[in-house]
C-alpha cells in the first residue's frame, strides 16, 4: 500500500514538471513571434491614381453583306435571243437594254398600228378643216346648221378612232417591251447565262444586276441595348478580306420586334461602297457604338482583385490600405472602367496586393512602369 502511494506521488511530480516545461516553451515562442512581428516593416505597395477618359461602349455582332438593290433578270416572254448588249461585270444605267429577243412580228404589228394612227389623224384634220369652213359659212347664213352638226359628229368619231389606235399602240409597245430585257436600276451586271440564238422561256435566268454603290448589312443585337438603339447610330465593320481596313456606316432601320428565341433585335446598316471593295455575301464583323461616356474613371486591370463574381481594389489612405468593392464598366486592353467604388485622386494599389489585407499599415510609392509586375 505504501509502495502504491509513493508511485502516485512520483507521477504527480513528473506531470507537474512536464507541464511547467511546456508552458515555458510556449511563452518563450510567443514572445519571439511578437518580437518578430513588431520588428517586421510594413509591406511595400505601388499605386496609381485613376485617369479619366472618354469611353465608347460597343455591342459586337456578325452579319452578311448584301447589295443595296439586287435582282435576277429573267425572260418575260418566250423567244429567241437576237442580241446581247452587255458585257459581264459592266456598269449599266436604269432603262438600258441588256438583251433583245427576236421580235419582228411585234415590230410589224406596232408599225401597222402607227400607220393606222397616222391615217386617223389625217382624216380628223380634214374633217376639222371642213368644220371650220362650215362654221364660218353658218355665221353668214350660207351653210345650214345640220351641216355643222354632221361634221362635228364625224370629228368626234375620228378622234375616237385616234384614241382607240393610240391604246392599241401602247399595248403593242408593252408587248414589244417584253421582248427586251432592260436594267431596272443603275448597277453592275453579273455573269451571262444565255447566248445568242438560245430559246428562252418565261422565267429563264439571263443575268443578275446588283447596285453595290452602297452595301447593306443585317445583324442582331441583344435586347439589353434596345433603349439606346436608333437610326443614325455609327457602325464600324471589318472583314477578313481587308484586315487592316475599317468600314464605317450607320444604322438605317431597327426592327419593331424582338426575336423571342434569341432575345435579340435585328438592325439594318448601310455603308458607302464607292470603290466597290465590299461585295454582296461577304462575312462582316460589326461593332455598334451604343453608349459614349465622357470623364469615365479608368484603372489598370492589374489593380483588380477578384473574389468569385465580385471585384475589389485596395486604396491607400493615411498610411493604410482599405479594400473596396467596385462596379466595372467597359474593359479595354490592360485597363478597365470603374463605374462605382473609386473616385478621382484615389491611390489605387497595382503591385503588392498579395502581401496586404484590409486596414493594415503599408509603405506606398508611385507605380514604376519599368519594374516587372508581381502577382
Q: Are residues 118 and 93 in the same domain?
A: no
Mean pLDDT of the chain, nearest integer: 84
* 8 pLDDT more than 70: no
Residue 257 domain-assigned (yes or no): yes
What is residue 374's predicted lDDT score, i.e. its pLDDT?
46
Q: What per-residue string of b and e applies to 189-227 under the rule 16 or more CB within 10 Å gives b?
A: bbebebeeebebeeebebbbbbbbbbbbbebbbeeebee
Which domain covers residue 259, as residue numbers? Answer: 60-66+209-293
Q: Are residues 265 and 196 in the same domain?
A: no
CATH for 109: 1.10.287
Residue 217 domain-assigned (yes or no): yes
What is residue 93's predicted lDDT score, i.e. its pLDDT?
94
* 243 pLDDT more than 80: yes
Any idea which residue has 424582338 for its cell? Answer: 258
What is residue 155's predicted lDDT score, i.e. its pLDDT?
85
Report the 10 Å Cβ neighbour count for 63. 21
Question: How many C-alpha atoms does 153 have within 13 Å on its Cβ side?
Answer: 6
What is residue 104's predicted lDDT score, i.e. its pLDDT?
74
Question: How many C-alpha atoms does 55 have within 13 Å on its Cβ side?
Answer: 20
pLDDT-derived band at 171 (thresholds 50, 70, 90) equals confident
**End-of-domain residue from the set 170, 203, 236:** 203
Which residue, 308, 326, 312, 318, is CA-closest to 359?
318
* 34 pLDDT more than 80: no
pLDDT-derived band at 39 (thresholds 50, 70, 90) equals low
What is residue 285's predicted lDDT score, i.e. its pLDDT?
93
* 353 pLDDT more than 50: yes
Mean pLDDT of 354-369: 90
Residue 250 burial by CB count (10 A; 0-12/13-18/19+): exposed, middle or buried? middle
Residue 7 domain-assigned (yes or no): no
Q: Are residues 193 and 140 in the same domain?
A: no
pLDDT-derived band at 168 (thresholds 50, 70, 90) equals confident
Mean pLDDT of 61-85: 91
What is residue 73's predicted lDDT score, i.e. its pLDDT?
94
* 7 pLDDT more than 50: no
Is residue 161 classed as helix, strand or coil in its secondary structure?
Answer: helix
Mean pLDDT of 271-282: 91
CB 117 within 8 A of CB 166: yes
CATH for 243: 2.40.30.170
What is residue 111's predicted lDDT score, i.e. its pLDDT?
81
Which residues, 6+ apart, have CB-to-CB distance to 244 below 8 Å?
Answer: none
Residue 155 domain-assigned (yes or no): yes
Q: Are residues 267 and 361 in the same domain?
A: no
pLDDT-derived band at 38 (thresholds 50, 70, 90) equals low
What is residue 124's predicted lDDT score, i.e. its pLDDT?
87
Q: Are residues 96 and 186 in the same domain?
A: yes
What is residue 372's predicted lDDT score, i.e. its pLDDT?
47
Which residue, 126, 79, 133, is CA-closest to 101?
79
Phi, psi of 339 (to 5 degrees): -85, -25
Question: How many domains does the structure of the chain reveal?
Answer: 4
Torsion sign across C-alpha atoms 348, 353, 359, 362:
negative
pTM, entire model: 0.57
Q: Which residues face 60 on adjacent strands?
A: 287
Mean pLDDT of 162-182: 81
Residue 6 domain-assigned (yes or no): no
What is residue 375's predicted lDDT score, i.e. its pLDDT?
41
Distances (CA, A) of 201 to 83, 103, 162, 177, 217: 16, 14, 35, 16, 34
* 120 pLDDT more than 50: yes
* 18 pLDDT more than 70: no
* 123 pLDDT more than 90: no
pLDDT-derived band at 21 (thresholds 50, 70, 90) equals very low
Question: How many C-alpha atoms does 226 have within 13 Å on its Cβ side?
Answer: 12
Which residues, 6+ apart, have CB-to-CB distance to 271 below 8 Å?
Answer: 214, 215, 216, 217, 235, 237, 247, 248, 249, 278
Which residues, 6+ apart, have CB-to-CB distance to 207 below 8 Å?
Answer: 73, 86, 88, 98, 189, 190, 191, 192, 193
Distances (CA, A) of 177 to 38, 118, 293, 335: 102, 22, 59, 65
Please work out, in degrees rounded to the nearest 5, the angle formed at the alpha carbon of residue 305 by the alpha carbons of 300 and 311: 95
Q: Are residues 217 and 327 in the same domain?
A: no
* 249 pLDDT more than 50: yes
CATH for 92: 2.40.50.100
Any idea which residue has 438592325 for its cell? Answer: 267
What is residue 98's predicted lDDT score, i.e. its pLDDT?
93
Q: Are residues 273 and 334 in the same domain?
A: no
Mean pLDDT of 39-43: 79
Residue 20 domain-assigned (yes or no): no
Q: What is the pLDDT of residues 316-349, one digit of tens each?
A: 999 999 999 999 988 888 999 999 999 999 999 9
Q: Are residues 286 and 220 in the same domain?
A: yes
Amino acid at each position: 500500500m505504501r509502495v502504491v502511494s509513493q508511485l502516485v506521488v512520483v507521477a504527480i511530480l513528473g506531470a507537474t514538471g512536464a507541464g511547467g516545461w511546456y508552458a515555458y516553451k510556449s511563452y518563450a515562442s510567443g514572445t519571439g513571434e511578437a518580437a518578430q512581428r513588431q520588428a517586421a516593416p510594413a509591406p511595400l505597395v505601388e499605386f496609381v491614381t485613376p485617369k479619366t477618359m472618354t469611353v465608347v461602349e460597343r455591342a459586337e455582332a456578325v452579319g452578311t453583306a448584301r447589295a443595296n438593290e439586287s435582282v435576277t433578270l429573267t425572260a418575260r416572254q418566250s423567244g429567241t435571243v437576237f442580241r446581247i448588249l452587255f458585257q459581264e461585270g459592266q456598269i449599266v444605267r436604269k432603262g438600258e437594254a441588256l438583251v433583245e429577243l427576236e421580235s419582228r412580228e411585234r415590230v410589224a404589228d406596232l408599225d401597222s398600228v402607227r400607220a393606222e394612227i397616222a391615217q386617223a389623224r389625217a382624216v380628223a384634220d380634214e374633217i376639222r378643216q371642213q368644220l371650220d369652213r362650215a362654221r364660218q359659212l353658218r355665221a353668214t347664213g350660207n351653210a345650214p346648221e345640220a351641216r355643222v352638226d354632221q361634221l362635228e359628229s364625224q370629228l368626234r368619231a375620228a378622234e375616237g378612232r385616234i384614241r382607240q389606235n393610240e391604246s392599241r399602240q401602247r399595248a403593242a409597245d408593252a408587248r414589244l417591251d417584253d421582248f427586251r430585257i432592260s436594267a431596272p436600276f443603275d448597277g453592275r451586271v453579273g455573269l451571262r447565262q444565255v447566248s445568242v440564238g438560245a430559246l428562252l422561256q418565261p422565267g429563264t435566268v439571263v443575268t443578275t444586276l446588283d447596285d453595290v454603290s452602297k452595301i447593306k448589312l443585317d445583324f442582331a443585337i441583344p435586347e439589353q441595348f434596345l433603349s439606346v438603339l436608333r437610326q443614325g447610330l455609327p457602325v464600324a465593320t471589318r472583314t477578313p478580306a481587308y484586315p487592316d481596313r475599317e468600314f464605317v456606316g450607320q444604322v438605317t432601320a431597327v426592327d419593331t420586334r424582338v426575336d423571342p428565341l434569341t432575345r435579340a433585335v435585328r438592325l439594318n446598316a448601310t455603308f458607302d461602297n464607292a470603290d466597290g471593295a465590299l461585295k454582296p455575301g461577304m462575312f462582316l464583323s460589326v461593332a455598334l457604338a451604343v453608349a459614349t461616356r465622357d470623364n469615365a474613371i479608368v484603372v489598370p486591370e492589374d489593380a483588380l482583385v477578384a473574389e468569385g463574381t465580385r471585384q475589389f481594389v485596395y486604396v491607400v489612405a493615411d498610411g493604410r490600405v482599405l479594400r473596396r468593392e467596385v462596379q466595372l464598366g467597359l474593359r479595354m486592353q490592360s485597363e478597365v472602367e470603374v463605374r462605382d467604388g473609386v473616385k478621382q485622386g484615389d491611390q489605387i494599389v497595382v503591385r503588392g496586393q498579395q502581401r496586404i489585407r484590409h486596414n493594415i499599415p503599408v509603405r506606398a510609392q508611385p507605380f514604376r512602369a519599368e519594374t516587372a509586375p508581381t502577382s
